[in-house]
Every structure is written in C-alpha cells, then in structure tokens.
Amino acid sequence: MKRAKIDALLASDMPLDQVCIKGWVRTKRDSKTFSFLEINDGSCLANIQVIANEDLENYDDVVKATTGSSLSIRGKMIESPGKGQKYEIQASHIKIYNVAPDNYPLQKKRHSDEFLRTIAHLRPRTNKFGAAFRIRSEIAWAIHQFYHEKGFRYLNTPLITGSDCEGAGEMFRVTALDPALVQKLGKMDFEQDFFGQEANLTVSGQLSAEMFALALGDVYTFGPTFRAENSNTSRHVAEFWMLEPEMAFCDLEDNMDHGEELVKYLVNHVRNNCEQDLNLFSKFVDKSLPGLLDTLVNTTFERVTYSKAIEILKASKKHFEYEVSYGLDLQSEHERFLAEEYFKKPVFLTDYPKTIKPFYMRMNDDNETVAAVDLLVPRIGELIGGSQREERLEVLEGRMDEMDLPKEDYWWYLESRRYGSVPHAGFGMGFERFIMLVTGITNIRDVIPFPRTPGSIEF
C-alpha cells in the first residue's frame, strides 16, 4: 500500500486491519518498551508513524534501523493517541531490507541546496526534492493530458540530427570516429564517420515537428534537447526538456493564445493535484508563490512588441548591467524587469528584429522584424520562445542566403514550402523553467534529476 492512498481510504471508512507499507525510516525514537518510526515511502510528502513494540520477534534489529534504513511493515491502522498524526500503524511484522549506517548523509536536519547537489543520487529522499520531482512528474503527465484533450498528436523527433535548427551553433557533436584515426589524419573526416557527415545532438525538434504539423495538423514533441552553451547561469543546463507544439493554419496571435492556455492549464493542474507538495514550497521556499500562481491563472497575459519593450526599459531609468538598445537581445535582467516589476505578470514580446532571431521566423511587412514571440514570466525571464514560421518559399530562401545557410542541407525543409505550404506557428517551452516557475525553486539544477552543466557530468 502507498502512503498517498491512505488518507482517502480512511476517509471512506475502509477497515484497515491489515496494511503493509514499504519505505525508508526518516526518524526513530525509542522508549523503554517500544519505538516510534517515521516512515516515508516517497509516494507523497507525508510520513506514516509506526509503533514497533518490544514483543516483535526481531525488535532488537528494529531498534538498530535508524534514519535511512529500508523496511516493510505490516500491521493495523489505529487512531493515534499522540498529536501530529491522526493515524498510525501498530506493527505486527517488520522486515528489514537494509540498515543504513550512522554516516548516512541525510540525517534529519536542514541541508543546503549546494550540499544536496553533491549528493544528487540521494537528494530525492528529502522532503523538498521529493516534492519537486513528484511535481515534475505530475506536470509531464498534465502536458500529455492537455494535448490529448485538444486532439494534438504526440511526435518523437530525432535526438541525433544533421541540422542546426536555431543556427546558433551551440551543438554537441556526435561521432563514432576513432580518436586514433582522427589524430593520424590530422582532422575529423566526417565522410568516414558513422553517418557519413557531421552529426549533432538536437537543440530543438522544431524543424521535424513542422513537417508533421503540415501533415497531421496539430502536433507536439516533448523530449530532451541539448545545448553546448558555455553559460553557467541558474536558468541554463546543457541537457533540458522542451515541449514544442506546432500548429498548422495558425498565426502569431493563435500561437500566443495557445501558450497562455497551456500555462494556465498546467498551473491549475498543479494547484489541484499537488496541494501537499506545493504547500511545502509556499511555506519554506517562496512565500509569494501562491500570489504568483494566482496571477498566472487569473490575469490576462500582456502582449507588447519588442520595440515597445525597449522603450519601456529605456524609460525606466533603472540601472542594468547590460546595455538596452534596439537590435540587441534582451538579457535576463531586462526580461525579469518587464515581467516582474513593470507589468507584474507574464508578458508576450513580439516582433523582434530579424537580426537576432533564427532563419525560419516569418518576415513582417516592414522587412525588419519577424513574427517572433517570447513569453517572459516573473522570476524566470524567458519561459517560451517561438514564432510564426516563414511559409513563403522565396522569402525563406532569401533569408537563408542572407544568413549564409547552406540551402542544400535544408532541402527537405524547403520542400515543405514548395508542396502545400500553409501558415503555421509553434513554440518551445523549457520544461525545467516551468517547474521553477511553479515551485519557486531558483536554480535550474534543482528541478532536474541529474543536471548537466559546463564542467559537470557527475552521476
């Protein structure tokens, strides 16, 4: 039986004469003739208290099962006379799987996030990280539910790719070339490599998703993406999960409507399904979290152009570390100022200069800006990045020439504009950033099981 089910069973007046729970000891207190064990089985935040009496046949061993030990307990659920819990288990049998020694690193006390990162293999056993990873799982599930309800098709795009979607060149190379051969030849001869050409880990499934949107209508991908950006920030990791919806017969406005609906749906889902875990974050991590979640669900997101945002930033007279100027990319401090301080809610920025955006974004009539959209949210900055796609073959080819992109490598992408091209749009939402948003966790390394960052691939 899982701890998470017990409250509901008790509420339905089920007799719980024989329950069995398997989990790990959080704490143990011994008195003369019995011990109290706080057991957590990972299914939810709450522990269950177990009373082990000295008449248990292996009581001497049970007494040795301190924090971190793994047990299976059978017994009867009784109303608890003590305070702190309504029910407890009067154990009739306890099986001990493993007794954790005294040097178990997670003794009952507060540990810093930095320390817990050094024991990422054990940190999901803490209240905070257990809650974060249960919420992560719940959001992943809600994403699929949202798209299934809307009739989108789920697509798996390749992780190994020959093309650079974002054109930023921040890719991890995939090769099977023998280093000895490379040394002998004095170069990487990709023709002799596994695929006969250069291959990389994908930075985005978008280009593939577009092909499927132009066949199935509405699709989404949800999977790992990889970026070799050497940026050691609290919002970047080298391997992260991205959700990418792509919708045919859809423009930039539809794209924003969709993004707003998605964010509201997911926040509602977490509020309705992760109450206990969410409370932990509101109480101990970020007291302003309930207010922010309210804002996300109940206010209409702002929509302004990039150039308007530049004006706002300039007029703010606020001191920024990085320069604000039309044509420069916004830094996270600018994005946060707009969402957190100026609008005090999520804001979609649209119509960025073409010079700071990738080749596939749809050219606006001014020939200077493209139909790009980023969603900026309080505390995080950019949560979503997307655009309406350039569906006009000649315009797309023109952009690729301007940007010096090898058109022959993208021949299949260009063919989609030759045969049955339609307006379409989509975006990417950083999954980890969304988890940060709804938990108040401020470092992306703490919302992904085993973070990959420059210089660090432990675990």
CB of residue 237 to ligand 4AD, shortest distance in Å: 5
Q: Strand, coil or helix: what is 145?
A: helix
Per partner kind, with CB cut-offs from 5 to 8 A, the member of Mg ion, ligand 4AD, none near residue 166 is ligand 4AD
Task: Give Rg (Cα) of the chain.
Answer: 27
431/449 Cα distance (integer angstroms): 13
CB of residue 206 to ligand 4AD, shortest distance in Å: 4
* Burial environment of residue 12 by CB neighbours within 10 A (0 to 12, 13 to 18, 19 or more): exposed
Per partner kind, with CB cut-offs from 5 to 8 A, the member of Mg ion, ligand 4AD, none near residue 432 is ligand 4AD
- Nearest alpha carbon to residue 346 among 307, 315, 383: 383
CB of residue 205 to ligand 4AD, shortest distance in Å: 7
Pairing of strands 70-79, 48-53: unpaired
DSSP class of residue 100 equals P
Neighbours of 340 (CB within 10 A): 18
433/266 Cα distance (integer angstroms): 13
Give 91 or 349: the residue with its C-beta nearer to ligand 4AD. 349
Give 37 or 242: the residue with its C-beta nearer to ligand 4AD. 242
Q: How many residues does the chain have?
A: 459
Residue whose Cβ sits closest to ligand 4AD: 385
Per partner kind, with CB cut-offs from 5 to 8 A, the member of ligand 4AD, Mg ion, none near residue 423 is none
DSSP-based helix, strand, coil % in the chain, nearest 5: 35, 25, 40
Alpha helix stretches (DSSP H) within 119-178: 127-150
Give 192 or 231: the residue with its C-beta nearer to ligand 4AD. 231
CB of residue 223 to ligand 4AD, shortest distance in Å: 12
Which token pair is 403?
A: 């940007």
CB of residue 416 to Mg ion, shortest distance in Å: 23
- Nearest alpha carbon to residue 45 among 277, 275, 286: 277
Give 20 or 457: the residue with its C-beta nearer to ligand 4AD. 457
Residues making contact with Mg ion (CB under 5 A): 385
- Nearest alpha carbon to residue 246 among 395, 393, 371, 428: 428
Give 385 or 426: the residue with its C-beta nearer to Mg ion. 385
Give 23 or 385: the residue with its C-beta nearer to Mg ion. 385
Per partner kind, with CB cut-offs from 5 to 8 A, the member of ligand 4AD, Mg ion, none near residue 165 is ligand 4AD
Give 423 or 430: the residue with its C-beta nearer to Mg ion. 430
CB of residue 322 to ligand 4AD, shortest distance in Å: 18
The upper half-sphere exposure of residue 81, i.e. CA atoms within 13 Å in the direction of its Cβ, equals 3
CB of residue 346 to Mg ion, shortest distance in Å: 15
CB of residue 383 to ligand 4AD, shortest distance in Å: 5
Give 47 or 416: the residue with its C-beta nearer to ligand 4AD. 416
Q: Write phi, then psi, for 199 (nearest 5 degrees).
A: -135, 150
Measure CA of the first residue to CA of the last residue in the chain; give whole Å. Answer: 31
CB of residue 227 to ligand 4AD, shortest distance in Å: 5
DSSP class of residue 341 equals I
Label residues 254-271 b or e (16+ Cβ within 10 Å = b): ebbebbbebbbbbbebbb
Per partner kind, with CB cut-offs from 5 to 8 A, the member of Mg ion, ligand 4AD, none near residue 170 is none
Give 117 or 235: the residue with its C-beta nearer to Mg ion. 235
Per partner kind, with CB cut-offs from 5 to 8 A, the member of Mg ion, ligand 4AD, none near residue 391 is none
Residues making contact with ligand 4AD (CB under 6 A): 165-166, 204, 206, 227, 229, 236-237, 240, 242, 244, 382-386, 426-430, 432-433, 444
- Listed in sequence order, the residues at least 6 apart from 346 whose beta carbon sits closer than 8 Å to its beta carbon are 260, 263, 295, 296, 301, 302, 339, 375, 376, 377, 378, 383
Give 69 or 387: the residue with its C-beta nearer to ligand 4AD. 387
Per partner kind, with CB cut-offs from 5 to 8 A, the member of ligand 4AD, Mg ion, none near residue 428 is ligand 4AD
259/374 Cα distance (integer angstroms): 10
Per partner kind, with CB cut-offs from 5 to 8 A, the member of Mg ion, ligand 4AD, none near residue 302 is none
Per partner kind, with CB cut-offs from 5 to 8 A, the member of ligand 4AD, Mg ion, none near residue 204 is ligand 4AD
CB of residue 166 to ligand 4AD, shortest distance in Å: 5
Per partner kind, with CB cut-offs from 5 to 8 A, the member of Mg ion, ligand 4AD, none near residue 383 is ligand 4AD
For 261: left if phi > 0, alpha if psi spans -120 to 50, otherwise beta; the answer is alpha
